[in-house]
Amino acid sequence: MNLHGIDIAIVVAYLVTSVLVGYWVSHRASKDIKAYFLGGNVMPWYVLGVSNASGMFDISGTMLLVYWMFVYGLKSVWIPWLWPTFNQVFLMVYLSSWLRRSNVMTGAEWIQTRFGKDRGAKLAHIIVVIYAFFSIIGFFTYGFKGIGKFAATFLPWHLSANEYALILIAITTFYVIKGGMFSVVVTEVMQFCILSVASFAVGIIAMMKVAPGTLHRFIPAGWDNVFFGWHLNMDWSALVPSANAKIAQDHYGLFGFFVMMLLFKGILISAAGPAPNYDMQRVLSCKNPREASMMSGWVNVVLTFPRYFLITGLTVLALVFFSDTIRGMGTHIDFESILPEALGRFVPTGLLGFLIAGLLAAYMSNFAATVNAAPPYFVNDIYKRYINPNANPKTYVRLSYLSSFMVVLLGVLIGWYIGTVNDVVIWIVTSLWGGYTASNVLKWYWWRFNGHGYFWGMVVGMASSLTVPLALTKIPPLQAWSNQHSANLEVSLGFGLVFLFSLIASLLGTLLTKPEEEEILKDFYRRVRPWGFWGPVLRKVQAEDPSFRRNTDFWRDMFNIAVGMIWQVTLVALPIYIVTWHLSYAAYALAIVAVTSIILKYTWYDHLKDLEHINEASVAGIEKGLTSAAH
C-alpha cells in the first residue's frame, strides 16, 4: 500500500505520542509493586473497563471474526462462544466481586488465600505460575508474528515482518516496562479512542458505499438470519463456491449441535473464573468488589459496539466489492490481503492514516496488556514468596522491569524463528484451558476441595488435553466420524473426556488427602462469601459470629446470567443490523437491549451497593474470627 505523506505523519505521530504519554505517567508506578502491578487500586472502573476492552481488541481476532461473518452471516455471532465471550457476563454478575474480595495481587497468590501454605497449596501455587507463564509467552509469540505481518502489509518502508514487529514491540515495551499498570491503562484508553473512531469510520463508509438492498445480491438465503436450526443450510454455490468448502472444512454443518456444545463447554469455563492474564489483572486493580463487577459489565458495551462496526463494515465491503477476488483465491480465503486494498480504495487521505494508527493500536494494546501481566508472577509469586520476602519496594519494581524485559526477549526469540505460530498457540491454549476448567470450578464452590486436588486436577487435565484429541483420531470407529465432525468432536467428546479425567484426578487428589485447615477455610469463606457447597464451613463461621449470613444469591445470579447472555448477543447483533441497513431488525435489537438493561438494572445493578456492605462485614468478620481463634 502506498501511503500519502499525511497518513505516514499521522502514524508516526501516534507512535511518538504513545511513548510520551506512557512515559509521562510512569513515575506513578515506581512507588511499590502494588502501584506497578495494580495501579495502586485507585483507577476508576470505567477507565479499567476501556483498558480491558482495548487489550481484547486484537486485530488478528477481528480478522477471524470477519471471515466468520463473511461465510456464516449473522449466525457467526454464536461462534465466539468458542472462547467463550459470555465469560464476561459471569464476571459481571458475581465472579469479579468474588475475585476482588480475595484482595490479592495475582491468580497464583489467590491460591494461598484459598488453600493456605501447606504442601498441597505450594504445589497448586507452582502449577498456576507455570500455567500463567506458558499462556503469556504463547500469546506474546502469536502477537509478535501477527503485528509483523500487519505492519509489513500496511506500512510503506521495505522491512521484513520480523523487523517491523521488533520495532513496534520495542516502542511498546519502553513504556510498558517503565510505567507498569498506569502506563498500560492510560495508553490503552488513548488507543481505544483512536480505534473506536477508526472502527465507526469503516462501518459508516460501508453504509455509504453499499445502498440498502444491494447486499442481498451477494449473500445466500439465511445469511442475514441470526437464528438457526439443527443444520446450517447455507449454500454459497451460486455466489462464492469456495465458501461451501470452508464450511465443510470447519465442520460446522450441524450448527445447532455445535452451538449446544459451545454452551456446555462455555458455562464450565466461565464458572471457573478468569485465567491468570490481563483480564484478571484488571479485576484485581479495581478499587472494590462493586467496581470490579461494574468494570466487567462495561467491557461488554465498550468492546462490542465499535468492534462489530469494524467487522461488519469490512465484511460488507468484501462481499460487495471483492467477491471476484475472493472467488479467485479458491479455498484459501485470506481476508488480510483484502483489507489493504479495501482501505486504500475507500478511505480518504488523513482518515486512512488515522485508521492504520487505530489498527496498530489494537495490536499494541493486546501486546502491552499481555506483557504487563507477566511480572507479578515472577516478582510476587516467586522472588518475593520464596527468595526475598523483605526486599525494598524499589527492588521489586526493578525486578519487574527485568522480568518484563526477559518475557519480551524470550517471546521475540521464539517468534523470530517460528514460521507460523498460530496452530502451536491454539494447541497450547486449548490444552491449558482443558486442564484448567475442572480444578478451577471446584475451587470456588466446594469447601472440601484442597490444594492437592487442585494440583493433580490441573496436571492430569493438561496432560490429557494434549493426548486425548490425538488418541480419539487413532481409534478406528471414531476416526471416520472425526474426519466429518472434527469441530464437534473437539468441543463435545474431546472436551468431555479431558474434563472427566481432570475431574477424577481432582476428586481423588482431594479425597485421598486431608482437608485444608479450618482457619484457612473460614477466613476464605468470610472474605469471599461464595455460594455453593460450603455448609460445614458456614456452620463454624456462624458459631463464632451468629450475625453472619450465607450467600443466598444463587438463583438471582443464574437469572442475571441468562438475561446477560441475551443482552450480550443482542449488543453484537445491533451494530451488524445497522451497518447492513436492516434498520427494522436494529430497532427490535435495540428494544431487546433496552428491556434486558432495565431488568439488569433492578436485578443486578441495584444490588451492587450490597457488595460494599458485604465487604465491610467480611473484614469485620475476619477480625472477629481471628479474635475468637486467639481466645
pLDDT 10s digits, 411-424: 777 766 665 544 55
What one-character-per-residue DSSP string does 297-334 give?
HHHHHHHHHHHHHHHHHHHHHHHHHSHHHHHHTTT---
Q: Phi first, then psi: what are they for 532, rounded to 5°? A: 130, -155
DSSP code at position 385: I
Residue range 273-332, pLDDT digits in tens: 887 777 788 898 899 999 999 999 999 999 898 999 999 998 999 899 887 777 777 767
3-state helix, strand, coil in the chain (%, to 5): 80, 0, 20
* pLDDT on residue 472: 60
Please give the residue that has the higher pLDDT: either 300 or 185. Answer: 300
Mean pLDDT (whole number) for 539-557: 93
Give me 559's grid cell: 437469572
Residue range 609-631, pLDDT digits in tens: 876 666 555 555 544 554 444 44
Residue 306 burial by CB count (10 A; 0-12/13-18/19+): exposed, middle or buried? buried
Give the end-to-end CA distance of the chain in Å, rounded to a whole number: 75
DSSP collapsed to 3 states, 552-572: CCHHHHHHHHHHHHHHHHHHH
Going by C-alpha positions, the residue among 6, 5, 7 that lies closest to residue 356 is 7
CA distance 187 to 47: 11
CATH 1.20.1300 fits 5-26+42-419+517-630, yes or no: no
* pLDDT on residue 485: 46
Percent residues over pLDDT 70 in the chain:
79
Query: What rounded mean pLDDT belongs to the chain?
Result: 81
Q: Phi first, then psi: what are they for 95, rounded to 5°? A: -70, -35
Mean pLDDT (whole number) for 542-567: 94
Please give the residue that has the higher pLDDT: either 105 or 498. Answer: 498
469-475: long-range pairs with CB below 8 Å, 24+: 469/494, 472/497
CA distance 580 to 309: 10
Q: Where are the domains positioned within the chain?
A: 5-26+42-419+517-630
Q: Phi first, then psi: what are they for 446, rounded to 5°? A: -135, 120
DSSP code at position 517: P
pLDDT classification of 31: cutoffs 50, 70, 90: low
Mean pLDDT (whole number) for 41-67: 82
Residue range 93-130, pLDDT digits in tens: 999 999 999 888 777 778 888 999 888 988 988 888 88
Q: Is the pLDDT of residue 503 over 90?
A: yes
Whether the Cβ atoms of residue 33 and residue 396 lie closer than 8 Å to each other: yes
Mean pLDDT (whole number) for 367-378: 70
Scanning the structure block, which residue is given the C-alpha cell 468494570? 295
CA distance 3 to 18: 21
Residue range 77-87, pLDDT digits in tens: 998 888 888 99
